[in-house]
Structures are given as structure tokens and as C-alpha cells.
Structure 1
Amino acid sequence: MSVITSYDLPYAFFTVDKKATILTCNEVAFKLFQGIVKPGAQADRIFTAFDTSKTTFLGRLDDKPFLFFLKEWNIEDRNELACIALSGEDYAKMEEHIKGLNKFNRELDAIIENSYDGIYITDNKGNTLKTNSAIERISGIPKHYYIGKNVKDLIERGILKESITAKVLETKKTVNIIQKNYNQKETMMTGSPILDEKGEIDKVVTNIRDLSELNHLHEHLKEVQELNKKYEVEVERLKAYTKQDPEVVIKSEKMIEIFNIADRLANVETTVLITGETGVGKDVLARHIYRVSDRSDKGELIKINCGAIPKDLLESELFGYEAGAFSGASSSGKPGVFELANNGIIFLDEVGDMPHELQVKLLRVLQEKEIQRVGGTKLKYVDVRVIAATNKDLKKMVNEGLFREDLYYRLHVVPVHVPSLRDRKEDILPLVESIREKYNKKYELSKKIDRTLKEFFYHYDWPGNVRELANLVERMMLTTPANELTFHDLPEEYKQDNCYMFEETILPLKESVEKAEKQTLLLAAKKWSTTYEVAKHLKTSQATIVRKLQKYNIKLED
């Protein structure tokens, strides 16, 4: 029999046979009971109520109570009983320790259960010990279905395609795999071994992450980032639109819509044809398209007036020439505007005046993006966007054989018509104010415009449109000595053409009505050729129009 056997326990431990003879004990028991508990001693004589037939009972030693736990313990084929004796103090410590363990287990269970990822735990044989509810969301199979089942059985039933647990048990290392599960969701599984004190695998813990949701979030993030890029582009366009530019002054709905269209056309490569009367601001619109487009950072905007350059020189201006191409040509040759505008935009103003023979070459540039210099033999690629403008009726010119039909349709992809100033009167006074500020700054003046002149500007027909308005305001600011410009400061030709005189004094109501009526009829007489048309647009009878025209001695132009 052993005198003292060391057992790694913090409590008194000894073994007895069926007759309560002590066989072995640990140091804790030997010291606690001051050497009384030792091999060979009778436990039932040391402790009152010591009973080997019970598993738990309360015994005493010198009026001190002890709680005994007995359990059969077979070592080396000996039928022994293992006994743990706890004092009241030890029992209290054990109870507190057990409570702590129970609390820790509850917290651990709560962490596992509330994990967003699936948790799957097996023993070292591959038998499922524990899972959490997340595995139901990922796999579509209730978590209790896995408990107690071996991973091999789950593979045979088609629940698992591949066992990561088996790979961990084989390699004794952490293993990662990506696969589609029973629910056809793409998942990433990470299996990790839990080793015992001998370095052997005790359990395998597998973490299962639903990649389909992660992929969806990634795609959504990508969409948001792309949308942000679009917003950034739009913000930059708005910044470009709001940059100070005295020539871009619009208040009317018509012009706002036109500039909105221009913004939408800014970064598409289609050809734009701007139509409208002389002086309406076609070049301003072309410049705006350039400013808000991506090409403004890559190349130049180059304008060429097809009607202002002699046709003999226009070809070399457009396409350039090689050295010695003609008499007087530069010895080094010269690039044309298409080459100079590479990566940018070329604005062909008054394209209707382009000679017929050059229209063919322009068509090739639009279709092939290739040019050939005058006197040259090689074709050269150019990345140029074309914006064209005209005040002529190109369709009518096509019918008359003055303009190539194929070029017309190539230019007429996106037509934008800029209305005349008389058809967008809301823009007149803002334009006047902008022009006044521009020339006050340029010439260091402080001119103002009074009500009578503003009324004239608003009611005048402006056959020369914005260009005529700007020229007139500049002329008056430079030639009028007074700081305040009035109707009376207008050049005589403008006063003579307008019978509606803007007086600062208040006229009798009847006279004011007659003047306004006369001015309206004067404008109508210039615009419509029959009394029936005038009556229709002024919403009155033809007889009334005839009578009023006779009253004011006004004749229709035709």
C-alpha cells in the first residue's frame, strides 16, 4: 500500500476499499486531517457516519462537518472507491467555482448562439456536438438536425459537399475552403483544431460565413461608388455651369431647357448642330458644351467661321498643308485646326457656307476621323468632336443642291435650336444688366439704366438678337455723357422705328392704352402678313384688326 499518493486536486482525496480501509491519499488529505488519514487507517472509525454504500453523505470529525463524495474507481483491477472530502469552507469555494463555470458556459453559449456566422463544433471523430441558429439561415436546415450526426453521414445525405472537419483531423491545421452549400449559397468555411494537453485534437470548430450576402454588399458598394462618381461629375458640371461668364445669362424656360440638353450632350461623342438666327449666341452654347465636357481637360476648343475665310484658304485652315504645297507655303508645313483641336472640340460656325468640294472631306473626318493635309499623301487620325452651327436652312439647301445630303444627315444627328431674343424676353433685362456690369468694369464707368430704357429693351424686336443688344448697350455707355441712360439717349434710328415712346411722366389712361395698342399692332404687322393671321394671334376679330390698322395708319409689310 502507498503511504502518500499525489493527486493534482485542491481538495482532500483518498481511496478506500469496501470495508472503508484507506488505501491511498493525497497531500491535501494528509495535512488537512493531521496525518490521521493515511493508508491502512479505517475511515469509518475516523469519521462518524462514514458509509461506503452511499455516494454522498455528511460525516464529522471532532464536531467539524465534512461532505463526502464517493465513486467507484477501478485501478489496476482493484475495486476501489474514490472519496473527496470537503470542509464547509471548501464546499463554499467549490459552489462559488461551479457558479462561475456555469456563468462562463452560459456566456459562451450566448456568444456562439448570437454569432452572425455559423458555428459548427465536432469531436475528434467528426460527431457534431454543437451548432448555432446562424447555420439555419445559411444552410436552410434546422440546427438540431446536425446534433449527434457524423460529418460523413451529412456528406452522404447531400447536406455537405465537402467535409472541412475531416481535413482538419487529417492535417491538424486550420483549413479554409469556399463552396456552395445545400442552399446554393456561396460560403467560406474555416475549420480550426482544438488540441488537448498532449497535442492531440480534442475538438474541431468550424466557422461558416455566407459570402453571397458579402458579395451582394460588395456589389451594392460598387454601385454606390459608381453613383458617387457620377454625382462628382455632375457637381463638376454644375461648377462649370455656375462659373462667372457674362455671356451665359439665361432666365427663360426655353434657354434653361436648351442648356440642360447641352449638359446631357456634353460627354457623348455625337455631332451637335446648333441652329438659330445671327447673334442668338450659338457660339456661347458651343463653348458651354466644351466647358462641361471631359474634353475640356484634354484638348482645346477651336472655332472657325466657314463663311469668313476665302474658300481657297479654308481647306488649308481646316486640314493643314505640307511644306511646298503651294506658292507661299511655309517651308515646314502647317497643321490645320483639326490637328490643333485633337482630343478637344472644333466649332464649325456658319457651316452652311462651306464650299461643296470641302464638304466631302469634312464628311470623311466625321466618319473615319482621318484627315489629309493639302499636298500630303498620308492620312492622319484625329480624335476630335465636331459642333456645327448655321443660321441657314440646310434642309432647303440640300433640296436646292447647295449642300450635300449625306453631310447634312451626319451633322443633323442632334439638332439644337436657339430661339431668337424676341421669343425669350425673360432673358433681355438680365442680359442688359450683365452687359452693363461688363462694360462698367472694362471702361471703368458707373453707368446706370433707367426704367424707360429698360422698357424699350424689353419691347424692342431685336432683329440682331444678343449681338445687337450688346453692341447697342456698349455704344450708349461710351457715347452718353450722363451716368444714367434713358430712352432719349438711344440713337435716332431706334427712336424712329418705335412709335411707342417711353415717357417718364404719367399719361392719361386712354392715351396710354392707345400707345400700347399701337405698339402691339406695329410689332404684329412686321410678323404676320394678313389681317386674318394678326386677328388669330391677338385673339380678336378680323374686322377689329382692319379698323385698328386704319386708325393708326399701319400697313402690313406684305
Structure 2
Amino acid sequence: MKNDLDRYKYIFDEILTMTDDGFIVVDKEGIVTDINDQYCDFLGTSKEKAIGRSIKEIISNTKMIDIVKNAYREEGAIHKFADGETKESDNSFLLVSRSCVFNEKQEVIAGVAQVKFRLQTLDCAQKLMREYSELEFYKEEYNRITTNQYSFDGMIGSSKNFLDIKKTGMRAAKNLFPVLLTGETGTGKEVFARAIHNGSDRKNKPMVSINCGAIPSELLESELFGYEEGSFTGAKKGGKKGKFIQADGGTIFLDEIGDMPLDMQVKLLRVLQEKEVEKIGGTTPTSVDIRVIAATRRNLNEMVKEGRFREDLYYRLNVINIEMIPLRERKEDILIFANYFLNKINIEYRTSVTLSNEVKKCFQDYSWPGNIRELDNVIKSAYASCDEFIIQLTDLPAKMASSHKVNSFSGSDEKMLKNMVDSYECSIVKEVLRKCNWNCQLAANELGIHRSLLYKKMDKFGIKIKKSI
């Protein structure tokens, strides 16, 4: 028994030495039986002077005698020391937790107090505050960058028809009515949706997006509404929230809503009407507060007439309709977008590549069936292909370059015809070389000519072998 007591005494002493806190122990009469060096230093005393004396002789306004007498505990109390009872006069209060100690018969045998030194506690708090401030800084920077990227102020375009729909979007951001964005693929429907969200009172809440056409119909319900644990084979432990619950308080963006199956349209309509979601396998619905923005490339009006889209859901979603404008109908903005995308690449790779006048004219004349997304893709492809610091017509996809050349030439002059043929042939040769990663043998095989002839044509058209990047 004595060996056990000695062992625990050593352990207890080591703990009191390691800790940054102050500890003091008294018996049931209030006599100090142990105190660590940290507390002694704070009080300006020593173990030899403190142990064996009443705690009131060291800390005149102590509550430890009351603690052991009335058998209770308190945590996180602020203790103000009497004048002259601490080593430093300007450091006279601290945070303390006190408790009595019971034996196996529930009799009070001692009292113990733990103190948090003010400066050490302050250091910890300051460290945490610095880390918290740093996290808040990065959070604010992320929100600032994201908001600027997807805001009406940051939108590119100066054409009148675009400015008109921009005004409509800004008005939509001031209320919570459902918005339906329609128009061709690549016209920026999601960017517009995010701008509406970021311009609304819900900008500090999440905007959750889901592409209704990209998820198999059998999985769409669980993605939208979530599921409870064990509701079906393969359900993950703890279940899943679902997009609607994730977006609570914010905005949900239902992209390609026209691809949603009819059975899911019924369930979606119920959620929008009741403003509550029931998870798969759940028994209790969850209330949700969401703003709905939907988008589609399809003609929902025609789909309603054909019975492929519910009329009641259509009117529920189509409170504010914004028809996105294809790029070919905002020609003033084509070169603005082209220079914007090219400038981003130049900044990233520290270059100064520009567009030739012929390329600019080609961009203006092209119909852009893929809209802004296609323009972005063409700029990246042309940048990767250009030999010098200027993008030429031969750096563009063959279909664009050849179409532009055919439209540019007129008349039946033999020289003009030869120029047309040469230009078309040059664009084909360059396109095949690019496709074959500038491997001349592969390109010659693809063109069905001998490699030596390919070299002659490259020399004729001034095409240089370009290393892949």
C-alpha cells in the first residue's frame, strides 16, 4: 500500500511540475499540503514557507475553506488577490477552478484549486485570435474573389441587349422569386445565377449547384433530398444531407432542369410547395428555406405542350424568366471576351501574345454555335499552336479558318482562286500536324502523302515544327 502511495505521489509531483497552471492542495482544515513551483512563484513564496500553514495566511480572501466545509466545486471563477499577496502588484487576478475531494465513503478529505495565470491564458488567447484572424482573412479574401468573379459588376459585355438582361438580373437579385434562365449552351447561365445569388441578401449563405442532366435518374432523388443511414444497399454510414438541405438559407441552382425525369418533377414540386424535404428512408420532413434558380437549354414551353414537363412546375419555376443571349447576337462583345481570355493566359504564362487583324475579323464573322465556352476553348487552342507572339488564322481550327477564307474571297480571278486553295491547304496541313502532335511522319500518313512532300508544303506555307507544350 505504501509503495502505491509513493508511486502516485511521484506521478502527482511530475504532473504539477509539467503543467503551466498553478495548483494548491489543502486538507479539510484548510492547511496547505501541496503547492507547485509555478503557484509559489506567482505568490512570491516557496513550498517550504507555504506547506503546513493555513491557506488564509497566504491568500487572505481564499474560498478553499468554504469549498471543503460545504463540499462543492466551482469552475472558471475570477479571483482578485488582496494587495501585496502576489509577486507583481499589477498581476493581481486570475482564473481559478476549485473543488473538494471525496474518499470512497463520500467524505471530504481535501480541497484542490487550479489557477490559470492571466498572462499565459492571454498568450493562448492571442495565439488563437491570430490564427482565427488569419482564417477570417483567407475566408474574406475567398469571398471577395468569388464575389468579384461572379458579380454583375465583374461581368463582361457592353452590347445593348446584354445590358438589358443584366438589369433584369440585378432586379432579380433584390427579391427571392424563382428565376428561370433559358438559352443555348455556353451562354453563361451558371455565371448569371451566381451573380444573382451574390447580389442578394443570401450572398453569405451557400449556393449549391446540381446538374439534373448529368446524374442518373435513379440517383437524382438521393442527391437532391438525401437519405438516412441504412435506407438502401450502399447507403453510407450516417446518411447524406442532400443538396436542398445543404442550401438551407441560401440558393439552389438546378441546372438543365429540362432533363429532369417526370417522376422527380412531381417530388420537386412538392418540396417547392411545402418548403420541406423528406430524406429517402426518413420519417420526419426537414424544413428548408431556399431560393431556387433553374436553367435549361431546352424549350420548356414546348415540352409542357408535349407532356414531357409538368405545367405546374413550369409556372412555379418561371416567375422571372431571363433569356440568355447567344454570342452571335452580341457581336460587340466577341473581341472583348477574346482579349479577356487571352489576357488571362498571358498573365499566367508571362507572355504577350496578341490576335492578328485577320483573326479578329474571323471571330466577328463566325457564328459561334458553342457561344462563350467555345470562344474560350478556341483561344486556348490557338495560344498553344501559335509559333510567334501573334495568333494567325492558321492557328485557328480548320473549320473556322477555311470558312473565313471562303467568305473573304470573291470573283473568279485565277490568282484569287489559287490563294483560296493555298490558304485552305495550309490550314488543313497545320490542323493535321497539330492533331499528330507535330510528328511529321504521322501527319504525312494522315494526309496520304510522302513525308518529303509534306516538308515541301510546310516550307511553302512557312509552317515551322512546333514542340508540344
Contact 2:227 2:239 in 1 (8 A): yes
Structure 1 pair 431–374 and aligned structure 2 pair: CA distance change class (3 A): same
Name the aligned partner's letter for residue 184 of structure 2.
E
Aligned position for 1:303 = 209
Q: Kindly tell me: are residues 436 and 247 of structure 1, through their superposed partners in 2, closer, same or farther at Cα, counting changes over 3 Å?
A: farther
Encode CA deviations 1:349-377: one digit per residue, 9 max, x unaligned: 10000011111111122222111111111
**Where is the strand percentage greater, Structure 1 or Structure 2?**
1
Q: Indicate if the aligned counterparts of 1:315 and 1:358 stay in contact, CA closer than 8 A.
A: yes
Partner of 2:202, secondary structure, is: helix
RCO greater where, 1 or 2, for CA within 8 Å and sep 6 or more?
2
Match of residue 399, structure 1, among 292, 305, 315: 305
Q: Following superposition of structure 1 onto structure 2, how do residues 315-334 of structure 1 map, counting pairs within 5 Å?
A: 315-334=221-240
Specify the alignment match of 2:334 in structure 1.
428
Q: CA deviation at 1:425?
A: 0.7
Distance in 1 between residues matched to 2:150 and 2:229, nearest whole Å = 42
Aligned equivalent of 1:261, options 168, 181, 198 = 168
**Residue aligned with 2:203, SS:** helix
1:274 corresponds in structure 2 to 181
SS at match of 1:325: coil
1:463 partner letter = P
Query: Where does 1:97-176 land on structure 2 (aligned, <5 Å)?
Result: none
Fraction of identical pairs, as percent: 45
How much does 1:431 deviate? 0.6
SS at match of 1:383: coil
Paired residue for 1:415?
Answer: 321
Mapping of residues 346-357 of structure 1, within 5 Å: 346-357=252-263
What is the TM-score with the length of structure 1 in the denominator? 0.46
Superposed displacement of residue 495, structure 1: 2.1
Q: Which runs of 4+ in 1 moved over 4 A?
A: 239-247, 500-503
Do the aligned partners of 1:359 and 1:407 also contact (CA within 8 Å) in 2?
Answer: yes
For the pair shown, which has the larger CA radius of gyration, 1 or 2? 1
Deviation of the 1:501 alpha carbon: 6.0
**1-structure distance, mates of 2:301, 2:330:** 25
Residue 483 of structure 1 corresponds to which residue in structure 2? 389
AA at the equivalent of 2:397: P
Stretch moving more, 432-441 or 381-390: 432-441
TM-score with structure 2 length normalisation? 0.54
Aligned to 1:362: 268
User: Kindly tell me: are residues 244 and 314 of structure 1, through their superposed partners in 2, closer, same or farther at Cα, counting changes over 3 Å?
Assistant: closer
Q: Structure 2 unaligned runs (5+)?
A: 1-143, 421-469
Distance 2:168 2:157 in 1: 14
Q: Is the 8 A contact 2:150 2:194 kept in 1?
A: no
Residues 266 and 254 of structure 1, relative CA distance in 2, 3 Å threshold: same
Indicate if the aligned counterparts of 1:349 and 1:389 stay in contact, CA closer than 8 A. Answer: yes
Q: 1:441-487 CA deviation, whole Å, 9 max, x = no partner?
A: 23443321111111111110001111111111111112223221011
Check conservation: 2:152, 2:170, Cα contact below 8 A.
Answer: no
- One-letter code of the match for 1:332? G
> What is the alpha-carbon distance in structure 1 between the residues aligned to residue 369 and residue 363 of structure 2?
12
Q: 1:328 to 1:251 in 2, by over 3 A?
A: same
Kept after mapping to 1: 8 A contact 2:151/2:198? no
Structure 1 residue 463 and structure 2 residue 463: aligned?
no
Q: In the comparison of the two structures, how many residue pairs are matched?
A: 268
The DSSP-based 3-state class of the residue aligned with 2:244 is helix
